[in-house]
Each structure stands twice: as structure tokens, then as C-alpha cells.
Chains A and B, each alone.
Chain A
Amino acid sequence: MNPTNSNPSPPRWATRLLRWYCAPHLVEEVQGDLEEEFDFKVKQVGIARAKLEYIRNVIGFIKPFAIRRKKYLSTKSSTMSMFTHYATVAFRNVVRQKTFSAINIVGLALGMTCCLFIFLWVGDEKSVDNFHANGSQLYNIYQTVARNGQTTGVYSTPSVLIYQNLNAKKKGEITGVNLDDFKQAVPEIKKINWYATGYELPWGHSETFQVGEKIQKFDGSRAGKDFFTMFSYPIIAGDANAALHDISSISISRKMAIFFFGSPKEAIGKSIRYENKFDFVVNAVFENITSHSSLTFDFLINWDSHIKQLEQASPIILTTLELEENADIVQVEIKLNHFLQSRLDKNDPEKISVGLKSYGEKYLNSTFLNGKPQEGRMIYVRIFTGVAVFILIIACINFMNLATARSVKRAKEVGVRKVVGSSRFSLVSQFFGESLLLSFLSLFVSIALIQIFLPFFNALASKQIASPISVPSYWAALIGMALFTGLIAGSYPALYLSSLKPARILKGTLRFTNSAIWFRKGLVVFQFALSIVLLIATIVVSNQTSFVQNTNLGYDRDNRILIQLEGELNPKYSLFKERAMKMPGIVMVDRSTEAPHAMGFVVDENDGLKNTLNGDDAINWEGKPKDASVGFKPASVGFDFIKIMNLKVAEGRDFSKSFATDSADAFMVNEEAVKQMGIKNPIGKWVSAWAKKGHIVGILKDYHTNSLREPIKPLILDVKEYEYFGVIIVSFEPGKTKEALASMETVCKEINPNYPFAFQFMDQEYDKLYRTEQVITKLTNIFAVLGIAISCLGLLGLVMFAAEQRTKEIGIRKVLGATVTNIVNLLSKEFLALVLLSFLIAAPIAGYFMYQWLQGFAYKIELSWWIFALAGASAVVIALITISVQAVQSATTNPVKSLKVE
């Protein structure tokens, strides 16, 4: 120790202890005293003793009087009482003006509910395909095809990257691409998976499984053996590595396992019969696929099985690569393309290349522009996020409008408060407090609404969003939103009212600047314009939807069912037809290779270039030009197809068994085909479809072979009662549906015992083609109602404000003899003008968008004037009702009352 220490100081830790326990208002004097004493002691008895003494003193001060914090007697207690006072005032305001508060709360709650629903939807959309543990290393291949100057893209894979020996004649000789070659060409690849659905149209359908007596159809896919180790679909029984390890492997969902085996555990190692052709062994059971996966399947069959033995599957094959961590995507794409080009025919006029897209982004980026993935659903996510924020802001603005309308009343309160000595800050916090109170009340209402309407919302958006009420982040978002809403909504009244000069308020009425009034009127115009756009959209969409459902398609679709042609139904077709026709209720039975209401398969479209090179078009005819590019819809049907569909023959004759040559030689085309083929006197001219050559026997009147979105296309029909795929069409007597179904079930069970009896009603299937339109109809309905409701709140705010401002004027007018009608007119005129202005803005915008939307249909309604008139008139009527609620009330008030008010 240095004895000559010129500036001795007390032990640090003791000082720190003191500062810690001692009440802040005492620290200074106590520490000062202690230090002075220390200095004194140093001189008197030396440093060591002084330090000891100092410590003793510090400890000695650990007494209640030194520790106890000072109560802020004067300031703190008054703040508290001010807070309780504000709370009381706020609550009294809410309760006193029940309607007003209800309107405010409902308005905000509606906005919040919309906003929350949209955010739930957006969150759900974003979570699709993003649950895989190594998702950051998963990439999808997309292919870009340049042909004829057109570039298209799709999430599929060029077949040279999938198969070997593509030119082999027999299916068995084709093998999968050599994995070692693949990995050698692109060393960054760790694993590859191919995936193809077995059920997607036009080739696929549900497939039949059988265990013992149980037969059922399921939708499933084919996938590579690494599927379950690349993707994180939970395996509940069996081993992920062995799930699809050999050609006889199958993995099934929990649902399927329970159906066939009673439990997932029971299913492992068991055999299951597929399409009455192959026996597969269940190696794994996975959890049912949730809506968070864009791939959906109830079973997966090994990929080798798909290549070597299975019949049909979707031609869209999704290839997913698992890459090394930190792999350079650009490099991988280059290597991949290099590998691809080495396997492609250099002379092919089609130029194919491939690209990579992160697996999780596929779902939201599913449309292609110039062969590259573009936004797709991502656009909706963006738009709806914007809409959500927008709706919330609109709700806030309405809240402001209503609050401002009442500021005349509150202004006096503010004046008095200011005179008594309230600071600007406390006024601002008072108004913010009130708006926060209301926004939290609205939040509770909207949480309740969410709970109630979530099932409806899920049904509408075809989602399975679970109630997020137990998720902490949801609550954080809710509270954040309530705070945001409260602060935004309260900002105008809080900042504006608190800025008023008390003398001015107390002296007379409150005047707003013109710009403030115009701003608020502008907002109302804007909201009404939006509502009118939505109204017009509603009318157009619902009209178009009913138009497509009621248009005469050129064939009959009622009282007809479709049965998948499978198992014994094709070999024993004649027997089946004969039996079925004898059963009660059945009128006619026939067949077609394609479901007649939704023929998707088109050949030879836009291939003029290719034809000039090697002339390998599927459809040819007498006098066909070299560069013809006519897209045909081909179908092979039974002899009675024209009759069962009730099609009209324009020229020539129907297929008929009485002509011996018909099953080998006859073709029918539709009028559109004749027009596009450009042949005169078509009857008797030769045509050929693939290897089959024959002559045209009849011309069909045009009918719609698919939804009304697409124009009628050339159609070519021939008779083949032996094609192994397609559907059986059964027509039955009207009103005898039950009987007919029972009859068909009996016949199917008898002829085709290894397959379950499954059927579809043709009219229902046709309606399903318009599912999107139905959803849009519902959505526009809902949004139109919401839009109107919210904009009416805005209008009501303005009217209330105007009525409030003109209380005296109305009183005087009444005294001078104005009638109630006069006064209602007086108040309404100005606002009706606003609504009309909104209409003028909305009509062209809505017209433009609806015109664009209708372009998606080849057959559509006209955008006639009455649609706009109806929407405008409804808006005016609704606005009038809203206005008169307030106007009538003001007009009927006794003038004595309104004039007495000072």
C-alpha cells in the first residue's frame, strides 16, 4: 500500500452498495456526508481505519429510512387520479353514446377482421411447402421450351433427364436415367427425386386398391426412393429410408392404412393389390398430407415401378434436387443444361433448357413468363397484404371522421380542461387513451368474429387454417394491430382537438378549414367509388357464372353419370352394356375415351413448323396444306355416343352398326373442324388419326367440349369400342336417379368385382369447371357488402358532422316554417352529389376490369348499361338511407332545443 497516497478514496464496493440500496433522493447527501467523514477520519486515524469506519457507516445506513423510496406525494398521486379520471370519462363517453360507440367499434372491428383474415390467409399461403427441414437445399427443375418463336415454361422435366432408351418400343425396355451419370455431370447434387401424380387429368384418375374384401379408390403419385429422406413428411410407421426402396414398395397415408388395415402399425409389411394387377408391399405409413403441402397424395409408388410397369400418370414430372449446402445455383444450372444438351437431339427445332427454382417458392411462383417462373400466386399475396393494410387504414379514417364529427361536443370539454390548466400532453394522451380503449374493444369483437367465421372462411378459401388463438405470436400481432389502429385512428382527434385555442372554442362554434373538409369528402368519395366497383363486379361475376351454367352447351348433361373405364369393364364392355340396358331406370349406355364435358387433349396445335420438317402430325386429311396447324380434339367413342349425348348432326349421318365399315372406317368431325381444315364437301373425304385411316361420314353441329372459357375447337370422333381407357356414359330416366344408381352398382359389382363402384354426375362435374368463378362470386359478394358497410360509416360520419354544425341553422329554418322534407333534402343533397361523383369515377374503372375479366371467357355476357345503373342506383339508395338516419333525426328535433343550446 502506498502510504503517501495523496488522494485516498473509500472502498469502491461499499460505495456501490450504498448507491444500490439507498433511496435516490437521499444518495447525494448521505454519500457526501460519508465521504466527508472519511476524509476527516483519514487525517485523524489513517487510511486503513478510515476505510473500516466507512464500511461500518455504509452498513449502518441499511435502515428503513434510507432504503425507503420517496413517495411522489404531489405529482404521482395526481397523475394516477388523472388517469382514473380519463378512464372514467372515456367509459362514460362510450356508454353515453351507445349508437355512436357501436358504429365506431363495429366499423373498426370489421376492418380488423378483414385485415386479420387476410393476414391469416397470407401466412397460410406463405407456409405452403416451407416445412421441409432441408428446404433451403431443395430445388425444382423447370423446363423452358422455345418453339415457333414462342417460349413456354412449366415445372416439369424433359424426358431425356428422366429416362434412358426412350426409343425402345416396349415399355419394359425403357429405364430410368443413370443416376451416376447425372451426379457426375452435376456433382453438387446429393439426391434426386422424381414425382408424378397418378390422378391428374387428362391422363390420370383415382386408382383402385384391394386388401381382402376391401376395395377402394385413392389418389396417389409415384416418387423416387429418396422421397421421404429429402422431404419432411412425417412417417408414423415403418422406415423413411426403406419407404420406396424397390419396385414393389408402396407408402400409404394414415387414412389409407386405417381404411385397409385398421392402424398404421398393422399396415407395415402387408401386401396391397393395385388395380388388380400388381401386389405392393407397404413399407411406410405417413401422416395424412396437410394443406401446407402443394403435393397431395394418399399413396406413393416407387419410381421404377412407374417407369417399368405402371400404365398412366401425369406427363408433368416434377424433379427436385437436393444440393450440397452452399452450392452455387447458377453453376448447377449451367452444368445441368450442359448435361441436358448432351442428351438432346441437336436437330430438333424445339429448344429445351432447364432452370432451378427453390422448392419453397414453387407454390407462389407458378406462372411462367417467357419460360421463367413468375409471380403467380405471389401476386395475390402481395395484393391482399396491401388490401389488408388498406382496409385497416380506411377503417381508421372512418373512425377519425366520426370522432371529428363529434369534436364539436368534445371541444368544449377540451376548452374547459385547458382553462383549468391541462397540458397539451395530457390532452393528447387522453384522446389516444380513448381511441386505444375503442380499438381494444374492437379487437375483442373481431377476435370473436374470427372464431365464428373461420370455418366459413376456410370453406371459401379452401384452406384448413386452424384457429390461431393459442399461438403467442398471433396475440403479439393482435395487440400490435390494436395499438397501431388506436394510434392511427386517435391521431387526428388527439392532435387536432388538443391544439385548439380555448378562448375560441369556448366563445363559439368550431370551424374547420376547407381543406380538411375536402380531404374527408374525398375519402368518402373514394370509399364509395370502391364499393361501386365491387358492386359492379358482383353483378357481372354472378351473371356470368349463371350464364355459363345455363347456356345450352349443345348436348344434354342432366341425368347422366360417368364411370371410369377400368378393370373388366373394357374387355367385357358389350356384356356390361347389354346387362345395364336391361336394368330399371337406365336409358342408354355408351363410352368415350374422354369425359365429354371436359375434353382437355388437343393435338397438332401450333406445330406448323414441325410438320414441315418431318410431317408427323397425328391428324391428316385430304388436301391438307403443308404448314397446317389445326388443333384437334380427338376422341374415340361408342356407336351410340351421338344419341346418348343428344348431339345434332348437321350433315351426313351418325355412326351406325348397320354399316359394317363404321367401326374401322368412319370419322365424324364438327363444323369448326370443317371450317379450319378448309375442305369443301367434306362427306366422304379421307382423314386419318395416327395409324387409322378412314372417311368422314357426318358433320356434327358445334357443341362445347369444355368450359366456356375456351372457344369451340375442331373435334374428330371415331368408333373404338376397345380402347382400354376413358369413361362409360350412362343416361337414366329423369327422376329415377336412385333406381338407376342401384342398377349400375349391381351391374358393376357383377362384371367388375375387383373395383369399387364409383361414378360422377355429369352436370355436377361440369359445374366444377367453374369453381374459381364460384369462389370469386362469393368473395365479391362479401367484399361488396363490407365495402358498402364501411363506406356508409364514412358517410355517416360526414352527415353527423354536418348536422352538428348546422344545428342552429336547422332550428332557425324550422322556426321559419321549413318542413321535415325540406331539411332532409338540405342535408342529403350535398352528400348525394358525392355518391354520384363516386359513381362517375367507379363506372369506367369497373368497366375496364370487368371487360378484362370477361376476356377469359370465349362465351360471355355483355357489359350492358343496366349493370352499371343497378350498381349506381343501389349505392345511391344505400347512401340515402344512411344519410336520412341522421337527417331525419336532426330535422325532427324540436327547434326550441336546438336553438337553446349555447
Chain B
Amino acid sequence: MKRVYLGEFEELVLLVVAMLESDAYGVKITHEITDQTNRSVRLNQVHAALHRLEDKGMINSKMGDPTPQRGGRRKRIFTITAFGQNTLAEMKTVRAHLWNLLPSSMKIVGG
């Protein structure tokens, strides 16, 4: 099977989507990333990443219910697919494996 590559930012977004479970949408994800990582992220970057992820089949989306806060507009709610979960898990395993192979002096830095 053809391997799908995830960029660093995409991986981050995918993780956040997974984390937020059924409440992942544009603004929420952006704020979450800012809060959790102190990175300054722009809304459009997140949207672009979400699109790419959806194209790659890592996430699904559906329109949520309208809410009064956004002028009655609906949110698009993203959920991670099984394929997305597998990919994340796989990446984590690969990383963990690689971490294990690092010389012990380096491990301290990362730890």
C-alpha cells in the first residue's frame, strides 16, 4: 500500500482533531493548537491543513448544527478516521522505535 506522508503541521492538526473528539472545528482547533503549543497559528493555515487531511482520507467532516454565536452559521465538525488513527499510531511507533535507538546521552535532552 502506498504510504501517506503527513507533514509536521498536519500531524499536529490531526492530533488535535483526535483530541477534541466530536468538537473539532476551525476556530477550536486553532485555539487549541495555540494554547497547547504556544505556536502562533492562523485560521487559514488550519483550514488548509484540514482540507489536505480530508483529501488524504485521515479525517471526515460533516456540517454541525447552527449555533447563535456565529451568526447562525453551521460549523464543519471534523472527526478522525480509522485510517487517520492508524497513521498516527504508526508514526508514534516509528518515532518511539527511533527514540529507543538514540544514544542515551541524547535521550536526556529529549526526555
Residues of A bordering B, CB below 8 Å: 28-37, 39-40, 56-57, 60-61, 63, 65-66
Which residues of B, 56-70, contact A by the 8 Å Cβ criterion? Answer: 63, 69-70
Per-residue CB contact flags for chain B residues 19-40 toward chain A (1 = under 8 Å, else 0) read 0000001110011000000000
Say yes or no: A35-B71 contact (C-beta < 8 A), given A29-B63, A40-B27, A61-B44.
yes
Cβ-defined contact, B73 with A57, below 8 A:
no
Cβ-defined contact, A28 with B73, below 8 A:
yes
Say yes or no: A36-B27 contact (C-beta < 8 A), given A28-B74, A29-B63.
yes
Cβ-defined contact, A39 with B69, below 8 A:
yes
For the complex, give the distance between the alpha carbons of A31 and B63 in Å: 14
Chain B residues with Cβ below 8 Å from A66 are 44, 47
Cβ-defined contact, B48 with A33, below 8 A:
no
Which of these, A28, A39, A57, A65, contacts B43 with CB under 8 Å?
A57
Interface-central residue, A32, A37, A40, by most chain B CB under 10 Å: A32
Cβ-defined contact, B74 with A32, below 8 A:
yes
For the complex, give the distance between the alpha carbons of A30 and B73 in Å: 9
Cβ-defined contact, B69 with A61, below 8 A:
no
Cβ-defined contact, A29 with B73, below 8 A:
yes
Question: Which residue of chain A has its CB nearest to the CB of B50?
Answer: A65
Cβ-defined contact, B44 with A29, below 8 A:
no
For the complex, give the distance between the alpha carbons of A34 and B70 in Å: 9
Chain B residues with Cβ below 8 Å from A56 are 42
Chain A residues with Cβ below 8 Å from B71 are 31-32, 35
| A-B contacts, 30 listed (Cβ < 8 Å) | A29-B75, A30-B26, A31-B71, A32-B71, A32-B73, A32-B74, A33-B25, A33-B43, A33-B70, A33-B75, A35-B71, A35-B73, A36-B27, A37-B30, A37-B43, A40-B27, A57-B42, A57-B43, A57-B44, A60-B43, A60-B44, A61-B44, A63-B44, A63-B48, A65-B47, A65-B48, A65-B51, A65-B52, A66-B44, A66-B47
Chain A residues with Cβ below 8 Å from B47 are 30, 33, 61, 65-66
Question: Which residue of chain B has its CB nearest to the CB of A65?
Answer: B51
Say yes or no: A36-B42 contact (C-beta < 8 A), given A29-B63, A29-B76, A65-B48.
no
Chain A residues with Cβ below 8 Å from B42 are 56-57, 60
For the complex, give the distance between the alpha carbons of A33 and B69 in Å: 10
Cβ-defined contact, B51 with A29, below 8 A:
no
A703 to chain B, nearest CB (A): 101
Say yes or no: A32-B75 contact (C-beta < 8 A), given A39-B69, A40-B27, A65-B51.
yes
For the complex, give the distance between the alpha carbons of A31 and B76 in Å: 11
Chain B residues with Cβ below 8 Å from A39 are 69
Cβ-defined contact, B27 with A33, below 8 A:
yes
B66 to chain A, nearest CB (A): 9
For the complex, give the distance between the alpha carbons of A338 and B27 in Å: 91
For the residues of B in contact with A, the DSSP-based class is: helix
For the complex, give the distance between the alpha carbons of A440 and B86 in Å: 59
Chain A residues with Cβ below 8 Å from B74 are 28-29, 32
B106 to chain A, nearest CB (A): 38
B42 to chain A, nearest CB (A): 6
Chain A residues with Cβ below 8 Å from B25 are 29, 33
Interface-central residue, B25, B30, B52, B76, by most chain A CB under 10 Å: B76
For the complex, give the distance between the alpha carbons of A236 and B71 in Å: 73
Q: Which 9 A-B pairs have the closest CB atoms?
A: A32-B73, A33-B26, A32-B70, A60-B44, A29-B76, A61-B44, A36-B27, A65-B51, A33-B27
For the complex, give the distance between the alpha carbons of A31 and B73 in Å: 8
For the complex, give the distance between the alpha carbons of A686 and B85 in Å: 134
A384 to chain B, nearest CB (A): 62
Chain A residues with Cβ below 8 Å from B70 are 31-33, 35-36
B77 to chain A, nearest CB (A): 10
Question: Which residue of chain A has its CB nearest to the CB of B72?
Answer: A32
For the complex, give the distance between the alpha carbons of A57 and B75 in Å: 17
For the complex, give the distance between the alpha carbons of A36 and B27 in Å: 7
Chain B residues with Cβ below 8 Å from A36 are 27, 69-70
B76 to chain A, nearest CB (A): 4
For the complex, give the distance between the alpha carbons of A66 and B43 in Å: 12
- Beyond A32-B74, A34-B43, A56-B42: 11 further Cβ-contacts under 8 Å? A29-B63, A29-B76, A32-B70, A32-B75, A35-B70, A37-B30, A60-B45, A65-B51, A65-B52, A66-B44, A66-B47
For the complex, give the distance between the alpha carbons of A513 and B70 in Å: 61
Chain B residues with Cβ below 8 Å from A31 are 70-71, 73
Chain B residues with Cβ below 8 Å from A33 are 25-27, 43, 47, 70, 75
For the complex, give the distance between the alpha carbons of A253 and B69 in Å: 84
Chain A residues with Cβ below 8 Å from B75 are 29, 32-33
A873 to chain B, nearest CB (A): 78
For the complex, give the distance between the alpha carbons of A33 and B25 in Å: 8
Chain B residues with Cβ below 8 Å from A34 are 43
Question: Which residue of chain A has its CB nearest to the CB of B30?
Answer: A37
Chain B residues with Cβ below 8 Å from A35 are 70-71, 73
Question: Which residue of chain A has its CB nearest to the CB of B42?
Answer: A60
For the complex, give the distance between the alpha carbons of A29 and B51 in Å: 13
For the complex, give the distance between the alpha carbons of A29 and B44 in Å: 12
A538 to chain B, nearest CB (A): 74
B92 to chain A, nearest CB (A): 28
Chain A residues with Cβ below 8 Å from B48 are 63, 65
Which of these, B27, B45, B73, contacts A37 with CB under 8 Å?
B27
Chain A residues with Cβ below 8 Å from B26 are 29-30, 32-33
A900 to chain B, nearest CB (A): 54
Interface-central residue, A39, A40, A65, by most chain B CB under 10 Å: A65
Which residues of B, 62-111, contact A by the 8 Å Cβ criterion? Answer: 63, 69-71, 73-76
For the complex, give the distance between the alpha carbons of A28 and B77 in Å: 13
For the complex, give the distance between the alpha carbons of A66 and B47 in Å: 9
B74 to chain A, nearest CB (A): 6
Question: Which residue of chain A has its CB nearest to the CB of B51?
Answer: A65
B43 to chain A, nearest CB (A): 5
